[in-house]
Structure 1
């Protein structure tokens, strides 16, 4: 806390500060750049402006006025506060009344009651959130209390199966495996200490300790976070609407780096491939059966022949994998990437136990000796991913594997699955308990892998698959999945809810083991097919399961295999559209899978987990029950087309979609564009010179627009340095029945084609148009009378503007 002498010194130095207060509880208050320092007779705390989107509140003393040592923030990027305060300091304003201190930036404000030091928050002068008990530190417990409005609905808690509106639920803040879950789970692999309100704000409890979140269960009008020590800080993010709140929240916690384009391909994955020959054989099967594939994922058998006893070897089992470098190189020649599992548990029976102990790489007992314990895989220690020694030792094995050609990294069991409360970690030279940092373990692990990879391979985008983390883990390229889901209809049912709850807080690549992972004694062909169809419109397409039933489609008979081939090929055809979604996420924080409430603000959509938007153009309603002939789906207002048949539906009602094995409930909003690239068997085959641009026309849509993003698919600096191009597409429909489609472009990147061959495919006409012209010149077209689609092809320079008029 800055005292009077320090304030005088700052004033002499020309730094900004405001008047001293001695009213009731608030003793002093000073503003330095964008941080308001407040001293009360119980607590000292700061309020810092974060961009123009929200505030960070941090307590410096406990409820007895004793100095409190905060752990570092995990939710915020490390330079965030410094960068933000430097940029926004001149625009921050402190306004005083007799009862209130108000910290303002543009249209958002934090209001501090001088008597109680309770804080409320406003947007455009309207209070949208207010502390009820506020932050509190007592008896080694940190808590945070907010008031809830009567009709307020809230997302929050991360991975849980509770329904989209989490109000009325209490849940542990402790990342924990839930093997074989189905339609109910209040504690899972990746929790988030945060909520997002239908009143367009989010509260992020920046505390990594074991705790609890109570969203109006105990007291219906109270949101309560509690933790066993840890950081005494929270972040308030404010928005104009739900979409704004989502993107603002991600902007504050950090956007996800643009992933490698191959992330959007098909993964061959199971528990697990037991030999080098098996790996090569499964890729051969994909090739022979003409099913696209981009990566193969090796589970724990790469380092040991048995499930138990080998974890921590961190090196190849040379009996089963005699020439791993040759295998990886052979796969790479086929444009297939190799992804390896690693775990942070070093068994006392493993090859690396003595090395880990000698390097002081393991979390410890109070006396500094390695903390060992028993769990499913054997007697073990745990890598201390918080300490520099633990990080350096662990990283040395990744570095060796990267030199062998491994392209992707899968971190498993990183809750950690077993993590004693009293185990000791060293974090920035401070000893902290397992209970204090439990929920940060996967986050710190991902950070170590990601940051080291960016140094080791500066021209490569890291792929980091992990099942546990914390707020802001997306900054380290984390690709989460929803854990060991039951291989059942009950397991499929909650996957939309799980992905959406994570995506709105920045974890936009959350996905499931397609087909289900756990159990299942007999093969359910319909379940498997429907899950893979859903996966086509998911961030990651990765069938994965226990191998008593093959998760790969190549090992199943027709019609399952032929349907899977069709939908996997469709995913590859959609690569330009999907990659543009990844670009939007990297630029703006917009999720790939989006709750309908983001586009249709009516509160009726806030709780909907039956359907979701895949980008702005597609509405997907996964089939989650067996033996259905129709699938009822509530459509928003407007005109919608069946993606597969182009049948037109009027929105604003529930429609019954006719089901067959070969189709799936996916609608396209009228006025939508979709870039496609037909016939790829690898994402590496993508050729930017050839784009097929689809547009769905309806007379009710007077105008629409779309931006297609493109780069080389590899450069880590594409977004940061602006090394990408945009195709700006628009459509307008006039009263004279003229549909005008325009194309413009800007930006560039190394290797961008100088000329493009573009084919427009226009859906929605009932009959063949009378004439079509490009830049005033009539051109020949192809009319598909059965599908009622118009196709026209042309070539253009990448900088050329094109206008198409269809009468």
Structure 2
């Protein structure tokens, strides 16, 4: 939200109050509190009729410093609040030297000179500046409508670029943008977002740091937009809390942020295979489903998961969690028949209860539905007729919801697509008394957590997986998330990738999208290009709205492309699952913007049409029908995975690729493990293992995970610089895998 009118003036009706000078400070061993006047105090009378800001500085975790600024402390704190499982105590250390007071946590120090005009500065372990809240950096504003906004403003260094803030489909670098944290079902082609995360990652020539605004409600960002040299964030509240998170690398920032807010669970290995759905509004029954599964098998396209979208339930009754008996008279038998073919089963759900559903009266009588302030059940006709909303702040409502889903698990369902969770009203009261404005974004966290907890309990840790659309900070703990409703075009394909890369820099380890696009029917060229992109993503799903997404609907060549890249992904599983385990253990995402692996390369910082899949595989999707693609290779000798061609970087390249190819390079110095089983993602990755050894790989350790993400085998690869040939030392009792220069499909 903008408060100023240019540099000199305020907007009509806005009154600004900035922390100006320190009047007192209280220090403990691990935190300090400063009281700041909003004007210079030159005489005793200046202390009258004037606000005082309370600024608390503390450390919730190593390398993280929190700042809480409060104007009027008497406002009731209704919640909800972000759960921060990584919070620690005693990790900060306060030092005081005359007028100077410092708080240090790990490599990060916050410093305040109590004798100088207000400025809270942050520096790294070497004393280099990170950022600062200077003359107008700590403030509150009142507006003509009586609203009260707390604001923070942090300096942006020369060349500093800002990323993250959730899954945003606007330009990848957020400088110059106005961003509001407010969940919305806006598709992928607007400034609205399904996944709003008030965390930004900052990268400049000096290094990286992060900023997490610890407020689940509407946080309004001005990123070099109101004041071009600053990032401002504001909330309509009496208090504002934010955390500065140390680097020095972007990976370090994500490691600390996800340790604080929660690391993603490791999805089961089978979930990395190809998912096929019924699509949304298409006509389908068991015969249709069987024809799809048969068609994939006949064309030798491996399939891992089959998903039933909305109309597995009766119309007007979403959600009643009951199979439509007119269409699926024998759901248990049908699911058993599908599972006999080695498939896992997913079904679509949402947290809404339509009035026609048998569950409406049951939930209403028990008090499980969100109510208006006057006690009426909140309802509307958007999406489902007479739709109400499950109140997950009521533990009994959450248990009731789980009991309905458990019936489906007992029938043979393996996982759920947790759709929606964004259209959450604010003219309501919640069972636990939560603030409706703060609950609007946070509701999705309760919804997805409820379902994920059930899956962990019933299917076991390591087998739980969602296909979720909405999320906020901490939601990365419940993977996987997909990019929502996009159009079936090359432009939508590119905007989907931007959103996924933005989300990955917001702490989310796993992300997917609808191959071919959701709305409309893709041109075969779009579909084929999207297949390669989708099958070189974290998770891969064929899904659409009003038309099927089976490959043969788009021609024989589409079938060949689907087969080729599904098999390739299966061969990559020893490598991909190792990278997935890194996401679980260190918070580094599977799909990585180039800047995450090459933060020192200025070109890598702006790239949003290519990415690293894990640490060692560069993917540049093709966004044109004719195959023209432009991409960038950082420094070193890169090896094309499919051809074995060696290309020297740094270099921009422009090429033309057929539908069976795209720029797909192994990083210089890497050794890429490749499995032999092309038929499934969760096979024996050690059987007939191949190691692709790049020219610059001289001494590399390769760890192959098991299906729980733990190391199953460790190989040492060495190459004599003169002899050239690579030597592989296997673990005791195992044969050495063969080595190769490209993958043979």
- When normalised by structure 1's length, the TM-score is 0.81
CA–CA distance in structure 2, aligned partners of residues 460 and 662 of structure 1: 34
Q: Deviations over 1:768-799 (max 9, x none)?
A: xxxxxxxxxxxxxxxxxxx9x9xxxxxxxxxx
CA–CA distance in structure 2, aligned partners of residues 481 and 271 of structure 1: 15
Alignment of 1:111-122 (within 5 A): 111-114=111-114, 118-122=119-123
Q: Using the TM superposition, give the Cα deviation of residue 421 of structure 1 relative to its aligned residue in structure 2, in angstroms.
A: 2.1
User: What does residue 281 of structure 1 align with?
Assistant: 291
User: What does residue 49 of structure 2 align with?
Assistant: none
User: What does residue 663 of structure 1 align with?
Assistant: 661
**Residues 728 and 744, structure 1, Cα contact 8 Å, conserved in 2:** yes
Q: Deviations over 1:208-231 (max 9, x none)?
A: 213422111121122122234497
Alignment of 1:717-736 (within 5 A): 718=708, 724-734=711-721, 736=722
3-state SS of 2:131 partner: strand
Q: Deviations over 1:225-267 (max 9, x none)?
A: 2234497322221101223223332222221111111111000
Q: Using the TM superposition, give the Cα deviation of residue 167 of structure 1 relative to its aligned residue in structure 2, in angstroms.
A: 0.4
Alignment of 1:731-770 (within 5 A): 731-734=718-721, 736-743=722-729, 745=731, 755-763=733-741
**Residues 691 and 758, structure 1, Cα contact 8 Å, conserved in 2:** no
1:640 aligns with 2:641: no
1:707 aligns with 2:702: yes
Alignment of 1:293-308 (within 5 A): 293-304=303-314, 306=315
3-state SS of 1:25 partner: strand
User: What does residue 403 of structure 2 align with?
Assistant: 396
CA–CA distance in structure 1, aligned partners of residues 248 and 540 of structure 2: 33
Moved more, 346-355 or 245-254: 245-254
Structure 2, unaligned runs of 5 or more: 1-20, 38-51
Q: Using the TM superposition, give the Cα deviation of residue 274 of structure 1 relative to its aligned residue in structure 2, in angstroms.
A: 2.9
CA–CA distance in structure 2, aligned partners of residues 619 and 610 of structure 1: 11
User: What does residue 171 of structure 2 align with?
Assistant: 163
Alignment of 1:364-379 (within 5 A): 364-379=371-386
**Residues 733 and 740, structure 1, Cα contact 8 Å, conserved in 2:** yes
CA–CA distance in structure 1, aligned partners of residues 279 and 131 of structure 2: 46
CA–CA distance in structure 2, aligned partners of residues 108 and 669 of structure 1: 32
Q: 1:177 to 1:702 in 2, by over 3 A?
A: closer
Q: Deviations over 1:709-748 (max 9, x none)?
A: 412x2xxxx56xxx543514333332x3243434355xxx
Q: 1:460 to 1:496 in 2, by over 3 A?
A: closer
**Residues 514 and 542, structure 1, Cα contact 8 Å, conserved in 2:** yes
Return the match for 2:691 from 690, 694, 714. Answer: 694
**Residues 183 and 441, structure 2, Cα contact 8 Å, conserved in 1:** yes
CA–CA distance in structure 2, aligned partners of residues 45 and 448 of structure 1: 36
User: What does residue 99 of structure 2 align with?
Assistant: 99
Moved more, 230-239 or 295-304: 230-239
User: What does residue 52 of structure 1 align with?
Assistant: 62
CA–CA distance in structure 2, aligned partners of residues 618 and 669 of structure 1: 6
CA–CA distance in structure 2, aligned partners of residues 72 and 230 of structure 1: 15
Q: 1:705 to 1:537 in 2, by over 3 A?
A: same
> Which structure ranks higher in relative contact order (CA pairs < 8 Å, sequence separation ≥ 6)?
2
Q: 1:737 to 1:48 in 2, by over 3 A?
A: same
User: What does residue 623 of structure 2 align with?
Assistant: 624
Q: 1:298 to 1:403 in 2, by over 3 A?
A: same
Q: Deviations over 1:583-609 (max 9, x none)?
A: 111111111111212222222211111
- When normalised by structure 2's length, the TM-score is 0.88
Alignment of 1:396-545 (within 5 A): 396-416=403-423, 419-426=424-431, 429-433=432-436, 435-475=437-477, 477-520=478-521, 523-545=522-544
User: What does residue 195 of structure 2 align with?
Assistant: 190
Alignment of 1:211-222 (within 5 A): 211-222=219-230
Return the match for 1:134 from 127, 131, 138. Answer: 138
Q: Using the TM superposition, give the Cα deviation of residue 626 of structure 1 relative to its aligned residue in structure 2, in angstroms.
A: 2.2
Return the match for 1:332 from 332, 339, 351. Answer: 339
Alignment of 1:144-293 (within 5 A): 144-179=152-187, 181-182=188-189, 185-199=190-204, 200-229=208-237, 232-272=240-280, 274-293=284-303
Q: Deviations over 1:410-434 (max 9, x none)?
A: 1111113xx22212223xx33421x
Q: 1:214 to 1:604 in 2, by over 3 A?
A: same
**Residues 509 and 584, structure 2, Cα contact 8 Å, conserved in 1:** no
CA–CA distance in structure 2, aligned partners of residues 256 and 564 of structure 1: 29
User: Pairwise CA RMSD of aligned residues?
Assistant: 2.5
Q: 1:659 to 1:123 in 2, by over 3 A?
A: same
**Residues 347 and 353, structure 1, Cα contact 8 Å, conserved in 2:** yes
**Residues 70 and 231, structure 1, Cα contact 8 Å, conserved in 2:** no
Q: Using the TM superposition, give the Cα deviation of residue 470 of structure 1 relative to its aligned residue in structure 2, in angstroms.
A: 0.7
1:611 aligns with 2:615: no
User: What does residue 319 of structure 2 align with?
Assistant: 312
Q: 1:755 to 1:405 in 2, by over 3 A?
A: farther
Q: Using the TM superposition, give the Cα deviation of residue 114 of structure 1 relative to its aligned residue in structure 2, in angstroms.
A: 3.3
Q: Using the TM superposition, give the Cα deviation of residue 458 of structure 1 relative to its aligned residue in structure 2, in angstroms.
A: 3.5
User: What does residue 569 of structure 1 align with?
Assistant: 567
CA–CA distance in structure 2, aligned partners of residues 142 and 386 of structure 1: 27
Structure 1, unaligned runs of 5 or more: 1-22, 746-753, 765-786, 790-807
Q: Deviations over 1:570-625 (max 9, x none)?
A: 11121111111111111111111112122222222111112111122211111112
Q: Deviations over 1:336-395 (max 9, x none)?
A: 111111111111222211011012111111123311122133221111122223312222
CA–CA distance in structure 2, aligned partners of residues 113 and 322 of structure 1: 74
3-state SS of 2:370 partner: coil
Q: 1:647 to 1:136 in 2, by over 3 A?
A: same
Q: 1:742 to 1:99 in 2, by over 3 A?
A: farther
CA–CA distance in structure 2, aligned partners of residues 28 and 111 of structure 1: 14
Alignment of 1:83-94 (within 5 A): 84-85=88-89, 89=90, 92-94=92-94
Q: Deviations over 1:42-87 (max 9, x none)?
A: 344543324322123335xx4135355263531622xx32xx21xx
Q: Using the TM superposition, give the Cα deviation of residue 202 of structure 1 relative to its aligned residue in structure 2, in angstroms.
A: 0.7
CA–CA distance in structure 2, aligned partners of residues 320 and 230 of structure 1: 54
**Residues 676 and 687, structure 2, Cα contact 8 Å, conserved in 1:** no
| Number of residue pairs the alignment of both structures matches | 696
**Residues 164 and 201, structure 2, Cα contact 8 Å, conserved in 1:** yes
Q: Deviations over 1:18-39 (max 9, x none)?
A: xxxxx943342323xx554556
